[in-house]
Structure 1
């Protein structure tokens, strides 16, 4: 089996808020149906679904790889209209990371590799 792409389905506690959050991060949002949107940035995309399971959402982790972690931190630190939390940039042996919890409890590892 040769893969072409893998996409995650992110559960949304508040569908409209999650769409706005990912759009504020720089994703373009396109409706796929009444209960599903595709969030795209460059060649990368994920699904936002009008479905929520707290246990699943709070255990979901996504690695979001960026080219400039400082630029990402500037964008994240301005997201004051959302029920989110984040930590500052951490240096790891393999690169830098920002831990960002989205509005549904999903954890994004915003990562810049060495």
Structure 2
């Protein structure tokens, strides 16, 4: 029988140390895997941040994170003043989408786009 034990996407970084600080401040737990690779986890969910940058890849890299309360996440980000503290970061406030999720967008320091959402039904 075929199964999968884990799936971890790779996420690029232009400034590895800056991106590591950003994701730690956001609330992820960091585990260094090597000089150019770190695993970031939140509960059972994880991704691998790498010290590798290609503009075309970073600006077309999109991640979707399903959470229990997207509006609470947005308040957390605003309280931390992440957009003021990390150059290049930005976001759009949560809104209800027709496909039954409440979602906001977050762009990390490298240009990676995150859609952070919770189901609305």
Q: TM-score, normalised by structure 1?
A: 0.95
Cα drift, residue 71 of structure 1: 1.3
Per the alignment, residue 85 of structure 2 pairs with 81
Q: Distance in 1 between matches of 2:114 and 2:91?
A: 9
Q: Which runs of 5+ in 1 are unaligned?
A: none
Q: Which runs of 5+ in 2 are unaligned?
A: none
Computing the radius of gyration over CA atoms, which structure comes out larger, 1 or 2? 2
In structure 2, distance between residues paired with 1:5 and 1:30 = 16
Moved over 6 A (4+): none
The RMSD of aligned alpha carbons is 0.9
Could you tell me the TM-score, scaled by structure 2's length? 0.90
Give me the whole-angstrom Cα distance separating, in 1, the residues matched to 2:16 and 2:30. Answer: 12
Spell out the pairing of 1:89-100 with structure 2 (5 A cutoff): 89-93=94-98, 94-100=100-106
